[in-house]
Amino acid sequence: MRKAFLILFICVLSTLIFAQTKTELKSSELQKPISEYILKNFTGYTIVKVFKVDDKGIITYDVCVSRDKNHEKLFFDKDGKFVRKQSCTNECCQDSLKK
């Protein structure tokens, strides 16, 4: 009985420690600095998906944008400052939901 309780406790604890939540947002819910950055630097691109990621209290935003056959995943910090971009396939935004 004690072993089962200990195993259950460890499983719950590890889930809490490694928890990451990814919430899909509407593009209209983006912070103003993020929207302005995309308008300025990715003219002609369409916002495909937006995610707010909470990784153990660290908030970031992942934005998938697309134009023709160009697909980019943009990463922003909690204040809406651009961090980096990643070129990806059309499925990159779908994969984001699985992580």
Domain count, the chain: 1
Q: Is residue 10, in this structure, part of any structural domain at all?
A: no
Q: Which helix (H) or strand (E) holds 2?
A: helix 2-17
* Range in 12-16, 42-46, 48-52, 78-82 the model is least confident about: 12-16
pTM: 0.72
The pLDDT value recorded for residue 99 is 42
Q: Is residue 30, in this structure, part of any structural domain at all?
A: yes
Residue 83 dihedral angles phi and psi, to the nearest 5°: -110, -55
pLDDT band (50, 70, 90) for residue 19 = low
The enclosing domain of 53 has a CATH number of 3.10.450.360
Q: Is residue 59, in this structure, part of any structural domain at all?
A: yes
Range of the domain at 60: 20-98
Q: Is residue 14, in this structure, part of any structural domain at all?
A: no
pLDDT, tens digit (0-9, with 9 covering 90-100), for 47-78? 999 999 998 889 999 999 999 888 999 999 99
With H, G, I as helix, E, B as strand and everything else as coil, classify residue 65: strand
Q: Which helix (H) or strand (E) holds 52?
A: strand 46-55
